[in-house]
Amino acid sequence: MLFSVGFVLHWLTPYLIKQSNFRIRSAHFVERHGLILLIALGESVVAVGIGLGTNLPAGRILAALLGLGLAAALWWLYFEGEDARAEDALERAPQERRPWLALNAFGYVFLPILGGIVVIAAGLKLALVHYNEPATGSTAFLLAGGVALYLAGLVLFRWFLHIGPLWIRLLLTVLTLLTAIVGLRVSAVAQIAVLLFIVVVGIMGESRLAHRRGFS
């Protein structure tokens, strides 16, 4: 009970004290949070290794490769330029607004981003164990829900900082949730493959959109 109260107070206290006295060094601030995200993504790679085990049939190896590809695609969604745009947004913000932007984008919003990676890691570990059969409800929803939570966090991240279009990532969030059906009816490997396909297509779509805007 006391831990719960402490957790709530921890996230409420910024609204009870004056924030404009804090000075945010944008480059350092964004870099530190990027490193935290890298560590979390590294845990998903570790989860793939743990789930792989010592028995290595072709299907399990394929599932592991797809899982690593998914982790790489999630890395690309943020480090392709999101971090640089976030740094620029913080740098351009008035000094009195900068602490609130940092708190919202890198405090509250980073919770679903990091939490999504943790959920994905748990799903990948289970998926590799039961790679050759339809996914259980927990595996399917951990995979779909984890990726959707990560994407929803990135949508909020962009919204708070005003650093890019939201609609593609909102669409990806909905599509990734629907992949639970694939996992339940086909297999976890098929679900991971579909998740990877959705995220990669989304990345390509955003790149083309950015390219067109650059020449408009």
pLDDT given for residue 215 in this prediction:
43
For tokens 């690309």, what's the residue?
76
Rounded distance between C-alpha atoms, residue 100 and residue 201, angstroms = 33
Rounded distance between C-alpha atoms, residue 158 and residue 82, angstroms = 8
Vertex 161: Cα angle to 158 and 163 (nearest 5): 60
**DSSP three-state, residue 135:** coil
pLDDT (tens place) for every residue of the chain, 216 residues total: 766 666 566 556 666 566 556 677 888 889 989 999 999 998 888 877 776 666 778 888 888 899 999 999 999 999 988 999 999 998 898 877 888 888 888 888 999 999 999 999 999 988 888 888 899 999 999 999 999 999 999 999 999 999 989 999 999 999 999 999 999 999 999 999 999 999 999 999 998 887 777 644
Question: What does the domain layout of the chain look like in residue ranges?
Answer: 25-214
The pTM of this model reads: 0.89
Q: CB-based contacts of 23: which residues, under 8 Å, 6+ apart?
A: 95
